[in-house]
Structure 1
């Protein structure tokens, strides 16, 4: 079965997994305090650096939030359900996430489409990579999860790729 056989809902869940990975990495990076980060009195040697790091985490959290909404939509959730979960009406939920859903649906799905998009950076690069190679991208996330396993039991060897749903295509019975 080819990579492009993954359902849109599975691709959206993979995109959400990536955004969660990015968010976790950024948040995790903010935990250590470097030996030369602070003056002896505890003040920052680089004023604004901590706030800039927090802003990166916040932007990553917003991307994760949008990816979660897109994942829910492609999984069949109505705007009403999304609004109910967020404590807003369906119209507000749609206004907040419809562009993200539309952008996801228009993302390239094959290596040929990806190469036509030109140079990509950051999350755009990963989205293009995942569009052309979803199984490989999922396996990269498998490796990340297993490297960062903190006592989680029962993840198995494929904690991301093992759960991705593929399209169900009708195959004619032999001899038909």
Structure 2
């Protein structure tokens, strides 16, 4: 199906339902862009290291913030706890993660990258950074600063809306 056919509006006869203009619906646009960028980066590491997107995100977060629990990783990434738990299990099994007991709270287990995990992190992180640089090189420094301010503001607004409920 060509782009024109996919983007054609619903006919007048079919307009008895609410129209959701996805091309101008911010959550949809952000999701599509995120999936495209994540997919491009994933192609760099999936074949070479056999990692899923979720596994890479766990490695990336623990590379930056070692000593988090699986629940804290899920919270930082806004990923589903079950998906994170499965990724953690696979990474533990492959020797890329280590699980330790928290020194202050023996009931709490924390995760950190193993040497094998850091070897992956130290190879993939520069590729991800280079990809981001190529992406951001297409916009000016002012646009970049504005983009990050807007993303921060949208994040704040989303948290507010979530707290207020439906």
Q: Same fold (TM over 0.5)?
A: no
Instruction: State the structure with bigger RCO (CA 8 A, min sep 6), 1 or 2.
Output: 1
Greater percentage in strand = 2
Greater percentage in helix = 2
TM-score, length basis structure 1: 0.28
